[in-house]
Amino acid sequence: MAGHNQFGKLGEQKVIDFLKAKNYRILTRNYRYLKAEIDIVAQHADTLIVVEVKSRNKGFYEELTTTISSKKIKLLTMAANQFIQENDLDLEVRFDVVTVIKNGEHLHIEHLENAFYFF
């Protein structure tokens, strides 16, 4: 597995640990529907949280939240709708982005709630 893929998996696991520490219940990881993939699906209170994880090394200067294109938003929305239908859920839905930045051996995690709206 390439180094960036390993770091991406490590980033996702760190985000899961981070969310669990904030009392989020992790429902699934890497949920796929057609061409869409949701990194993490969690629940917090009465809200379904669709989490996009962005892991990067220090020196990546682009604002990570801007790396989510309108096409990606449509795919995430489609997959979230499918997940809700498959699991017969009646919850509010929120789309979050969690960034993991590696600086040497240190990982910095930043959680952006309501990163985008789907309507």
**40-98 pLDDT, tens digit each:** 999 999 999 999 998 877 655 556 556 688 899 999 999 999 999 999 999 999 999 99
Which CATH topology does 3-112 take? Trna Endonuclease; Chain: A, domain 1 (3.40.1350)
For 30-33, which contacts have Cβ atoms below 8 Å and span 24 or more sequence positions?
A: 31/79, 31/83, 32/79, 33/78, 33/79, 33/82, 33/83
Longest CA pairwise span in the chain (Å)? 43
pLDDT in tens, 26-46: 999 999 999 999 999 999 999
**What pLDDT, on a 0 to 100 scale, did the predictor assign at position 11?**
82
Residue 66: C-alpha distances to residues 8, 79, 112 (Å) = 18, 20, 12
Say what the pTM is: 0.86
Say whether pLDDT at 110 is over 80: yes
